[in-house]
Structure 1
């Protein structure tokens, strides 16, 4: 598998022995660094169970061992908050004092 930017991958021991505990990983880019045949450096984010980035990482893997995790959402776009019809809260400086003049 050739990883592309935006791909969400399951990185397991099949990709590298350091991943005895599998991680989900969102690819930023495949780095063009000289390395061993069949291996690649990937730059991206480790994801938690909700699909949120928890750490930026650069990993050394065998692309042939990478898999797509089940149930990956196609879009990471978030919906804008719904209008509640109430006035927004005034910003404060942490002690309840209105900071607007």
Structure 2
């Protein structure tokens, strides 16, 4: 899974044990200048409330396999609405 600035991610305990309560997180960037364990990432972004409003800027350390993209950003940085399934 490729992560892009503007993606809204669901961060849960599957990503890291510190996230016992699920958190929506709008990605600013994947921090690539820090060495981490295989499969782990440092991410810069905004913690979002239930309305999608940024409430805090954060840097989090998570496992890539535990992340889920809720809303993907399009290549020009705009937010693409989630796919609706009947």
1:6 is matched with 6
Q: Report what 1:50 is aligned to.
A: 51
1:42-75 Cα offsets, whole Å, 9 max, x none, are 00000000101000000000011101238xx736
Aligned residue pairs: how many? Answer: 73
1:31 aligns with 2:34: no
Q: Which has the higher contact order (CA 8 A, sep 6+)?
A: 2
RMSD across aligned positions (CA): 1.6
| Structure 2: 5+ residue stretches without partners | 72-78, 82-86
TM norm structure 1: 0.67
Which of these two proteins has the greater Rg computed from alpha carbons? 1
TM-score, normalization: structure 2?
A: 0.78
Q: What residue ranges of structure 1 are gaps of 5+ in the alignment? A: 76-101
Give the structure with the larger strand fraction. 2
Segments of 4+ moved more than 4 angstroms: none
